[in-house]
Structure 1
Amino acid sequence: MAQNSGWGGAYGGPPGYGTPPGWGGGWMPPQAPKPGVIPLRPLNIGDLLGGTLSAFGRYWKPLVGIAATLYGGAAVLVAGMIGILYATLSDTFRTVFDSTEHDVAWHEVRALVFGFIALWVVALLLITFCSAMMYATCAVVLQAAVLGTPATYGSVWWRALSRMPAVLGALLLAGLAATVPMLLIIGVFAALIVAAANADDSLTALLVLGPLLLLAVIPFALWLWVKFSLAPSAVVFENRSPVDALRRSSELVKGAWWRIFGISLLTSVMAGTAGYFIQLPFSLLGSFPSMTIGDDPGTAQLVTVFAGYFAALLVGQLVSQIITVTFPQLMTGLLYVDQRFRKENLAPVLAEAAAQDVTGSA
């Protein structure tokens, strides 16, 4: 059947649908229905971890397929730009590598510096696009996973792509809210250092006070990060705009900040550790050919060895990136659903929707 495009606003249920007996007042039924990867009731950490693993296991094809398309495509584009940069500026590369014989002038390396700056900007834009697309993809997959409905690569791709601009807007706004205070303090601190450069005592005090002020802002930035962490899910599940999604996330996180922070931190550490151990054998495999290089290797041998090394690193980074991006976002999406279970009694609405899906497909 067709996948839901959204779960509505604060309540999300059909008009006139009341609260069934036994669902209100914080009382939970002995056996909550479980049409998908989670039981339709407030979730404990075991439910959340199990649901995250189950969602990845059931829907790994669209998740891995879209992640491979995004990050693989980005890697090909960056590699192509590196190749074009080298082909265009090969003489400059040789000048820099032979710089031990003479000092390198700015006009000799100017084109190379600007080329790498352009490469860095393009890579940053690609990573930002890929991240926003994966945030949207995980939320779209969870819409199907919670109700146990199928999801294909194509359906997830087009739904995620349609919500990606709004997800990107929410991420940028949340990032600005978290980083602007830190940037302001850094700017003020730099200005004060310049003003006090001629006064040794004042300069020493500023050098001590500046890092302390910066450390004081970090908890505030972390608080904002958790406060707005459910915004990408709100964008996809409820078709909200970036600003509305930030407000929605703030409403849902209120009263549960520490719980969401702790579970999100645990998931990120687990995903980061798994990603590291996945990438490690690729790094070892890529470095193995370098052990065969002799004392006077030729250019062709060096190019072959380094190409193999970077290719192995690229594959390892791709696989690791899929894990480190996908698992935390699946968990964040389930935290969004859990908060709606706890605050808005969404569970019976989803139970009815899942029953209708079963009836309609029978």
Structure 2
Amino acid sequence: MNNSPGWASPGSAPSDEPDRGDRAPSDRTPAPDDHPGEEASPPPQWSKQQPPAGQWSPPAGVPGPRGRATAGHGAGGQVPGGPPWGGGWAPVPPAAKPGVIPLRPLRVGEILDGALSTLRVHWRTVVGISLVIAVVAQLAITLVTGLWFPDSGRTPVLRGESTEEIVKAFRDLEKSLLGSGITSLIGLLATIFVTGLLTMIVSRAVLGRPVTAGEAWRDARPQLPRLCGLLFLLTLLLTAVILVCTLPGGLVMALGSAPAGFALGTLGLLAGGALAVWLWVRFSLAPPALMLEKQGVLASMRRSAKLVRGSWWRILGIQLLMYVIVGVIEFVVQIPVTLIAFIIDGDGLLNWMSGPTEATGWTFLTLLGIGAVIGSALTFPLSAGVTALLYMDQRIRRESLDIELAHAAGLTDYDTPAPAGNIPNQSTNDEPKH
């Protein structure tokens, strides 16, 4: 038996209705051919007024499954292009698509296509916002790389076997990891921030409505202080997890046992990274929940955890696929930029590749930063769109958000059943809806 409200599999007989389904031959109603020449009398519980066989069709406007009107059915209860009511079940009509996605539970390809369609349809607004955030973020990354961590991103070289050389190599590695971590954190903050802003554009693109940068800013501005608080709290949480896990290794290394401290620190870094990834996926839907539902910081994190529950691996897989695509796009953009940087400042590229003992020139870092800005302006909309559509997909699956989106798009009589393989989980009534 299917206990999901509003949905019953075709031909199924619920276990709490014993009168439905197949009966034993002794209990079945005699057919007219069993007694030739005699008119079959209806069972006593049937109404005496019955429509002629094979000629009845539901009146126009009579609600069907889940309130869907049956207008449009042909004579004999037949759906145009489908089997008659008595001979089979008509195929589920395609879901409405007022904007960039169909209003039903989404597949992976539809989530990616929806993000790309948002970029294609609203490219002026999307690229403008992404470009501004990318410039600010890349400026911070370039300053951090050039001033405090000029050797970040390069592997330290072990030039000897003495204890001093080993300790120096470990310190260089620690500095390189710290610099890479800070630059990655800046990129993560920029991604979350642009996700919050572009979520407002995606929410209108789903409804098929135009949006300008000014409208997106007016919609997002009241929630920006809370979004900054969410960014700060997530950053503090992820950083604290990694630091706590790597602290034992650092203490052992400080006490004089460099190899043991490095090994323990590596294990702690792996454990902290795994825990940070788990927390990141768990709270990855907090920015769109905060922006669209007007939630507070802690409430949006609880909301994200509730939406992710039971779908953690699916959301992780889609996010990883998105990051692979983002990496490929950035790599393709950086190839010509790196060639131009080599032509203009060949010494900077050679210093960058030679090791941590050589300084990298500002010209080379600036050119790399320009390439990163171009790549980010293209990839920010993809990552933000995927996150926002993942949030909407989870709400469609759990809360039938597709019906509310259809009504918001002007489809007032829209109410489509979900496919059998994507039956939404019914949520409690106390969950807020946008």
**TM, length-normalised to structure 1:** 0.67
| Cα distance in 2 between the residues matched to 1:290 and 1:189 | 40
Correspondence for 1:352 among 404, 407, 410: 407
Q: Which amino acid letter does the alignment assign opposite residue 202 of structure 2?
A: L
Q: Which amino acid letter does the alignment assign opposite residue 281 of structure 2?
A: V
Structure 1 residue 60: deviation in Å?
Answer: 1.2
Report the counterpart of residue 301 of structure 1 in structure 2: none
User: Which shows bigger deviation, 32-41 or 68-77?
Assistant: 68-77
Correspondence for 1:173 among 233, 245, 257: 233
Structure 1 residue 224: deviation in Å?
Answer: 0.7
3-state SS of 1:148 partner = coil
3-state SS of 1:190 partner = helix
Report if the CA contact (8 A) 1:286-1:311 is conserved: no
| Cα distance in 1 between the residues matched to 2:337 and 2:362 | 14
- Once the two structures are superposed, residues 91-125 of structure 1 have per-residue CA deviations (whole angstroms, 9 ceiling, x without a partner) of xxxxxxxxxxxxxxxxxxxxxxxxxxxxxxxx999
Q: Which amino acid letter does the alignment assign opposite residue 153 of structure 1?
A: A
Structure 1 residue 229: deviation in Å?
Answer: 0.3
Report if the CA contact (8 A) 1:37-1:51 is conserved: yes
Q: How does 1:108-127 map to 2 (within 5 A)?
A: none
| Cα distance in 2 between the residues matched to 1:30 and 1:222 | 39
3-state SS of 1:277 partner = helix
Structure 1 residue 189: deviation in Å?
Answer: 3.1
| Cα distance in 2 between the residues matched to 1:321 and 1:37 | 22
Report if the CA contact (8 A) 2:191-2:383 is conserved: no
Structure 1 residue 310: deviation in Å?
Answer: 5.4
Structure 1 residue 286: deviation in Å?
Answer: 3.1
Q: Does 1:286 align with 2:341?
A: yes
Q: Which amino acid letter does the alignment assign opposite residue 285 of structure 1?
A: I
- Once the two structures are superposed, residues 111-160 of structure 1 have per-residue CA deviations (whole angstroms, 9 ceiling, x without a partner) of xxxxxxxxxxxx99987875454122221111111111110021113333
Identity of matched residues, %: 34
Gaps of 5+ in 1: 1-18, 23-27, 86-122, 293-305, 358-362
Change (3 A) 1:170 1:74: closer
The structure whose RCO (Cα within 8 Å, separation 6+) is larger is 1
Correspondence for 2:298 among 209, 223, 243: 243
- Once the two structures are superposed, residues 244-283 of structure 1 have per-residue CA deviations (whole angstroms, 9 ceiling, x without a partner) of 1100000000000000000000001101110121122122
| Cα distance in 2 between the residues matched to 1:133 and 1:53 | 19
Q: Does 1:326 align with 2:372?
A: no
Change (3 A) 1:177 1:73: closer
Q: Does 1:61 align with 2:134?
A: no
| Cα distance in 2 between the residues matched to 1:171 and 1:79 | 21
| Cα distance in 1 between the residues matched to 2:185 and 2:318 | 29
Change (3 A) 1:21 1:251: same
Change (3 A) 1:51 1:128: closer
Q: Which amino acid letter does the alignment assign opposite residue 21 of structure 1?
A: G
Gaps of 5+ in 2: 1-64, 69-90, 148-182, 348-360, 413-434
| Cα distance in 2 between the residues matched to 1:221 and 1:74 | 22
Report if the CA contact (8 A) 1:136-1:236 is conserved: yes
Q: Which amino acid letter does the alignment assign opposite residue 215 of structure 1?
A: L
Correspondence for 1:140 among 200, 206, 224: 200
Change (3 A) 1:132 1:168: farther
Change (3 A) 1:333 1:128: closer
Report if the CA contact (8 A) 1:136-1:161 is conserved: no
Correspondence for 1:335 among 384, 390, 393: 390
| Cα distance in 1 between the residues matched to 2:186 and 2:106 | 35
Report if the CA contact (8 A) 1:144-1:151 is conserved: yes
Structure 1 residue 172: deviation in Å?
Answer: 2.5
RMSD: 3.8
Structure 1 residue 49: deviation in Å?
Answer: 1.4
Q: Does 1:190 align with 2:245?
A: no
Q: Which amino acid letter does the alignment assign opposite residue 134 of structure 2?
A: Y
Correspondence for 2:100 among 34, 37, 59: 37
Correspondence for 2:272 among 217, 223, 228: 217
Change (3 A) 1:216 1:132: closer
Structure 1 residue 214: deviation in Å?
Answer: 3.3
Q: Which structure has the highest helix share of the two?
A: 1
Query: Rg bigger for which structure?
Result: 2
**TM, length-normalised to structure 2:** 0.57
Report the counterpart of residue 21 of structure 1 in structure 2: 67
Structure 1 residue 231: deviation in Å?
Answer: 0.4
| Cα distance in 2 between the residues matched to 1:269 and 1:78 | 21
| Cα distance in 2 between the residues matched to 1:254 and 1:125 | 25
Structure 1 residue 285: deviation in Å?
Answer: 2.2
Report if the CA contact (8 A) 1:231-1:249 is conserved: yes
3-state SS of 2:67 partner = coil
Change (3 A) 1:261 1:132: closer
| Cα distance in 2 between the residues matched to 1:78 and 1:267 | 22
